[in-house]
Chains A and B, each alone.
Chain A
Amino acid sequence: MKYVDCFRFLAGRRTDELVITSAGNSGQAWWAATRDSERSFYLDASMSLSTMFASGLAAALPKKRIWAFMGDGAFCMNPGMLMVERQMNLPNLTHFLVSNRAYGATSNARLPNSTSNDYAAIARGCGLTRIHGFTNLAELERGFDAAVGKSATGHTMVVLEVEPFSDEEQKLEQPPFDGPEMKYRFARAIERETGVSVIGYRL
């Protein structure tokens, strides 16, 4: 499945979820699909930590549904994150593992053991039970509601098998925010939606 087509589909089915993207291509693809600058946190500076960041957020905001994207390049750097996720077992967290079988952000450099890695099996080995995998858009369209829809609850991992970015797609715009602006936009959106105090003072 084409990476950006997959993200455009997910963006179209998103309702009120907060979204965390990962280091790599997921920030570019999500920005291309949504242009969301408030309810998505583009955690570009974070190899392998987007779902840990999302877990902290999900634990702090149990009434909010959180989607976290992570490329398989980032995943390979810290697969033990799934042990922490399973232990926390946050019902409002969905971990999208975006598998392009390459280090996408570094010109699709080779990923170790790329063709053999079975991410769903790794997740099962860590004790996760809600694991879904999609290899094409038609499957994703059919299975989305059961996997990720509003009535689907429980800590969930979704493995999305996508094609690596083409040379043209590598030129997609990066989300154009300096770190502090990203923080403030996201924090203010959360403060408005939930009433919690993040920054510590209100405008």
Chain B
Amino acid sequence: MKRSETAKRIADELAECGVKLVASLPDNWISELITHLEGDARFTHVPVNREESAIGLCAGAYMGGQGSVALMGASGFMTCIYAITKINYSYEVPLLLLMTLRGSFGDHHKHHISNGLYLQPVLQAIDLPYTIVSRADELGAIGRAYRHSRTFSRPTAVLLARELLR
């Protein structure tokens, strides 16, 4: 599947959940997805200055009854542990995180070795439920993760693999 088609499928999944606000900070793997979401009238896209700002924005949107998603790279997520554990865990605020599975097989960038080593262990350490999506026919996981975050009253994450975003 072409990246543009994958981006459209992800957008459709998000819209189906009721997501209106997309807060993002880019990663090369999701640049096309971000461009697509920016131009999709179903969403308000807010580029943020740092990933923690996306966590704050999405928490506020939730308190106003609006669906949202925080979209970021793996490195960005690693900067958000404070915001997530403070806001989302302390107040039990749901959140859908969409992020890249950087540092996994097929990622040739050496500066993502740290993400390959520590991204999933960090998610596990803070008991943040996540699933990995490698193929387009697994994209229904986005809706399941969104709905589970509402049931769970905490964040859930979908990690987008290289094979999906290639």
B56 in contact with A60 (CB, 8 Å): no
Q: Does B53 contact A (CB under 8 A)?
A: yes
> In this assembly, does B65 line the interface, its C-beta being within 8 Å of a C-beta of chain A?
yes
Is residue B106 contacting chain A, with contact meaning CB distance below 8 A? no
Look across to chain A and name the residue whose beta carbon is closest to the beta carbon of B83: A49
Shortest C-beta distance, B2 to chain A (Å), equals 30
Q: Taking the complex as formed, is A26 at the interface, i.e. its CB lies under 8 A from any CB of chain B?
A: no
Cα–Cα distance between A162 and B66 once the two chains are bound (Å): 35
| Interface stretch of the complex, out of B8-16, B26-34, B44-52, B136-144 | B44-52
B130 beta carbon closer than 8 Å to chain A: no
Distance between Cα atoms of A88 and B57 in the complex (Å): 11
B63 near A186: Cβ-Cβ < 8 Å: yes
Q: Are B53 and A49 in contact (CB under 8 A)?
A: yes
Q: CA separation between A191 and B59, bound complex, in Å?
A: 16
Nearest to A53 among chain B residues (CB) is B60
Among B21, B44, B53, B90, find the residue whose CB has the most chain A CB atoms closer than 10 A.
B53
A53 surroundings in chain B (CB, below 8 A): 56-57, 59-60, 63, 87
- How far, in whole Å, are A198 and B67 apart by their CA atoms in the complex? 10
Interface residue? A61 (CB, 8 A): yes
Indicate if the CB atoms of B55 and A88 lie closer than 8 Å.
no
* Total chain A interface residues with beta-carbon distance under 8 A: 40
- Given the complex of chains A and B, what is the CA–CA distance between A78 and B93 in angstroms? 22
Instruction: Find B55's partner among A49, A58, A60, A194 (CB 8 Å cutoff).
Output: A49
Judge whether B57 and A196 touch: CB under 8 Å: no
Interface size on B, residues (CB 8 A): 34
Instruction: Specify the chain B residue showing the minimal Cβ separation from A187.
Output: B63
Interface presence of B42 (CB below 8 A): no
Contact B48 A183 (CB under 8 A): no
Least Cβ–Cβ distance between B24 and chain A, in angstroms: 11
Which among A55, A180, A186 has the highest number of chain B CB atoms within 10 Å? A55
Chain B hits for A84, CB < 8 A: 46-49, 53, 57
Given the complex of chains A and B, what is the CA–CA distance between A184 and B61 in angstroms?
15
Asked whether, in the complex, the Cβ of A56 is within 8 Å of the Cβ of B150, the reply is no
- Given A46-B87, A49-B87, verify A198-B49 contact (CB < 8 Å): no
> For window 132-160 of chain B, which residues contact chain A by CB distance below 8 Å?
150, 153
Structural contact, A80 and B68, CB atoms closer than 8 A: no
Question: What residues on B are CB-neighbors of A186 within 8 Å?
Answer: 63
Bound-state CA distance A45–B59 (Å) is 12
A45-B87, A46-B83, A200-B150 given as contacts; is B92 within 8 A of A56 (CB)?
no
| A87 CB within 8 Å of chain B | yes
Contact in complex: B60, A52 (CB < 8 Å) = yes
CB distance from B53 to the nearest CB of A (A): 5
* In the complex, chain B residues whose CB is within 8 Å of the CB of A140: none
| Contact yes or no, B66 A78, CB < 8 A | no
23 contacts between A and B (CB under 8 A): A43-B87, A45-B86, A46-B86, A48-B52, A49-B56, A52-B48, A52-B56, A53-B59, A56-B62, A56-B64, A57-B60, A57-B64, A58-B60, A59-B44, A59-B60, A59-B66, A60-B21, A60-B65, A87-B46, A182-B91, A183-B91, A190-B63, A200-B150
Q: Which 4 residue pairs across A and B have the least CB separation, nearest first?
A: A60-B64, A56-B60, A52-B56, A80-B49
